[in-house]
Every structure is written in structure tokens, then in C-alpha cells.
């Protein structure tokens, strides 16, 4: 019988983190645990404030689930169907259960989750380092932390002057490759294009979600004119969005919290490749549990942006870590997701 436990936890950041729309010093999360035959699988749900899903609702949802009705953690499809039957929403909670189930399966079999999904592991997977919005001294401080990474993603907004000053500041102090995430900061497609043209002159590698979901129709114009690849993030939450909106973008940012877990993200990246889209593996601000889960899929993606745990100051788990910008998979906890409580 599966034994289920879950609890809220407040992640604290080492610095204020700001993007277009909000600034904060932490993120609400939920940890879940599924135990079977002496092993425990761990999962995590993260709730950044800009997401529709809220922790309280997801806690209530989890309290309604009865996993004791399932004989084994290997009944993955039956368990996921049951969760969908109880509610069509609560995607982060489902992502957490997906992680815990796969972690548990991997631990019971003595293999990694990536192995179970027939994904060939790679010792050379590099993540970008994300720099939030802030004053020049903040950007410079973050640049120091990013020194060992080969790729930086910088958060910008709809303020052209801020954006230009920030990119020039970064490029004066670093020659690392640079990507830009607008988080839907622009409300005018012509201004967004002007900005993207300027970023292309500055040899920026790509841009992410320049326009908000409400102005999605304008992506047809932007995609046609933009010299840089445009990745959709907020616009493409799950596989359904991917099927409906893939023609609006050059690439997609896939995140476990948006789509509902490792298996859903796996299906999404394969579908994105079918659509000839570039692929990025992203994350929310989250701890090592969710980052280690996403990392299992990393070899399948063109770009990896799994740095959400690097700003967390109060981790109670450890798993995949980052050394010189490279993902390092734990050697002594190879099974499942490789996460352990500290
Ligand atoms: Mg993004």
C-alpha cells in the first residue's frame, strides 16, 4: 500500500528576485512523500505569485487524495487518471506526485528516473544562470555569481532604456552568451520588435515571451520579423497549448510545474521536436527536489535553465547540484531522482 504525506514549506531566497511584474524574497512550496516497501519518493510543487495555482488550493486538493487505494507505485497511469478525475486543475500538486512516484519507482528498481525513461545520460549538461531585474549594483553582484556559467539569462521588461542599460552593463563586464526573458513585459509589438532588433545587434542569443498572453495574436507578426528566436513560456503551459500555439513561436520553455510533471514534460519535448521547435528546459524558483526531477530530462533539450534552486537559502534536500555551470548528478544516490533530506 502507498503511504502518502505532504506539507507546506516556505523557500527563502538569498537576495530579492524581481521580474517584469513582481519582486519577492521567497516562494511557497509543498513537499510530498510517497512511501512503499521501505522506500520514500519525494516530490515538490512550487507556487510563484504570478501563477494562477495557489498553495492553499493545492493543499486542499492533496488532502482529498487517497493513494491507499493503489496497490503499487508502478500503477502510474491509474494514479494520474485518478488525480485528473478528482480535479482537472492543481497541476503543480500533480507534478509533485509525478516526481514522488517516479522517484519511488526508481529507488525500488535501483535505477535513475532518466534511465527508466530510456534517456541517455550526459556528463556535459550546462545550465544558464538567471539574473533578475534590479539596480546596477545588484546586476554586478549577480554577474559575479554567474562568473562560472557559460550562459546567462537576464530578465528584462518593457522599459527600453532599462533594457539597453542592463544589457550594455552586462556586456561591459562579461563575454558570456546572453539570452533575454521579458516575461510578457511589452504591450506594443512594434516596440518589442525594435527592442529585439537592437538585441540582435548586441549578439543576444534568443528572447523569451516578449508579449503577454493577452496579446498572443501579435506573435505571428513578431515571429515573422524577428531576427532572433522567440521562445514561448507563459503562453505555452502544457501539451494542449503547445499543439494550439506552436506556430506562434520558434521555441518553447517546458517546465514541470506548468505541464504536470516529468512524464508530461517528456511527452511535451518530443512533441515540440515534432513541430520543429527549439526546446528549453526551465523551472520556477524551486528547491533541489523539483530541479533534480527536471534534470532527468535535460539531455533531450537544446537549452537548459535549471537554476531555480541556486538562490534558495534554506534547502532541506540535496540532489543535482551545479559546478561551474554544469549539472552534477549525485553519485551516492543514483536511484530515482537522487534526492535526499539533508
Ligand atoms: Mg520565462
Confidence (pTM): 0.95
Residue 334: the pLDDT is 62
State in Å: Cα 304 to ligand 1 middle. Answer: 12
Distance CA 56, CA 180 (A): 32
**What's the half-sphere exposure (Cβ side, CA atoms, 13 Å) at 277?**
29
- Do residues 283 and 308 lie in contact, with contact meaning Cβ atoms separated by under 8 Å? yes
Neighbours of ion ligand 1 (CB under 5 A): 181, 208, 233
pLDDT, tens digit only, all 342 positions of the chain: 899 999 999 999 988 887 777 788 999 999 999 999 999 999 999 999 888 999 999 999 999 999 999 999 999 999 999 999 999 999 999 999 999 999 999 999 999 999 999 999 888 999 999 999 999 999 999 999 999 999 999 999 999 999 999 999 999 999 999 999 999 999 999 999 999 999 999 999 999 999 999 999 999 999 999 999 999 999 999 999 999 999 999 999 999 999 999 999 999 999 999 999 999 999 999 999 999 999 999 999 999 999 989 989 999 999 999 999 999 998 766 689 999 999
State in Å: Cα 154 to ligand 1 middle. Answer: 10
DSSP secondary structure letter of residue 204:
-
Only one residue has cell 502510474, namely 76
Only one residue has cell 515571451, namely 209
State in Å: Cα 280 to ligand 1 middle. Answer: 10
State in Å: Cα 314 to ligand 1 middle. Answer: 24
Sign of the Cα pseudo-torsion (329, 331, 332, 338, in order): positive
State in Å: Cα 70 to ligand 1 middle. Answer: 37
State in Å: Cα 155 to ligand 1 middle. Answer: 8
Amino acid at each position: 500500500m502507498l503511504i502518502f504525506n505532504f506539507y507546506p514549506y516556505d523557500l527563502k531566497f538569498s537576495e530579492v528576485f524581481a521580474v517584469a511584474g513582481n519582486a519577492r524574497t521567497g516562494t511557497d512550496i509543498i513537499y510530498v512523500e510517497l512511501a512503499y516497501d521501505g522506500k520514500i519518493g519525494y516530490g515538490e510543487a512550487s507556487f510563484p505569485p504570478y501563477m494562477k495555482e495557489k498553495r492553499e488550493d493545492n493543499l486542499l486538493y492533496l488532502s482529498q487524495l487517497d493513494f491507499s487505494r493503489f496497490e503499487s507505485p508502478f500503477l502510474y497511469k491509474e494514479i494520474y487518471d485518478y488525480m485528473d478525475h478528482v480535479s482537472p486543475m492543481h497541476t503543480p500538486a500533480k507534478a509533485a506526485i509525478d516526481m514522488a512516484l517516479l522517484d519511488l519507482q526508481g529507488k525500488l528498481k535501483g535505477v535513475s528516473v532518466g534511465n527508466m525513461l530510456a534517456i541517455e545520460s550526459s556528463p556535459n549538461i550546462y545550465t544558464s544562470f538567471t539574473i533578475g531585474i534590479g539596480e546596477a549594483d545588484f546586476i554586478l553582484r549577480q554577474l559575479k555569481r554567474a562568473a562560472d556559467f557559460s550562459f546567462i539569462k537576464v530578465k528584462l521588461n518593457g522599459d527600453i532604456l532599462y533594457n539597453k542599460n542592463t544589457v550594455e552593463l552586462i556586456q561591459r563586464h562579461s563575454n558570456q552568451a546572453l539570452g533575454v526573458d521579458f516575461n510578457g513585459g511589452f504591450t506594443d509589438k512594434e516596440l518589442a520588435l525594435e527592442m529585439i532588433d537592437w538585441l540582435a545587434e548586441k549578439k543576444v542569443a534568443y528572447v523569451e515571451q516578449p508579449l503577454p498572453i493577452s496579446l498572443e495574436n501579435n506573435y505571428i507578426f513578431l515571429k515573422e520579423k524577428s531576427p532572433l528566436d522567440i521562445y514561448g513560456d507563459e503562453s505555452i503551459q502544457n501539451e494542449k497549448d503547445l499543439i494550439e500555439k506552436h506556430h506562434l513561436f520558434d521555441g518553447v520553455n517546458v517546465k514541470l510545474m506548468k505541464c504536470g510533471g516529468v512524464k508530461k514534460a517528456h511527452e511535451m519535448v518530443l512533441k515540440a521536436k515534432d513541430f520543429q521547435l527549439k526546446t528549453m528546459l526551465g523551472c520556477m524558483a524551486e528547491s533541489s527536489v523539483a530541479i533534480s526531477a527536471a534534470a532527468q530530462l535535460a539531455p533531450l533539450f537544446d537549452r537548459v535553465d535549471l537554476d531555480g534552486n541556486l538562490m534558495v537559502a534554506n534547502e532541506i534536500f540535496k540532489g543535482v547540484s551545479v559546478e561551474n555551470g554544469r549539472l552534477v548528478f549525485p553519485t551516492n544516490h543514483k536511484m530515482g531522482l537522487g534526492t535526499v533530506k539533508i
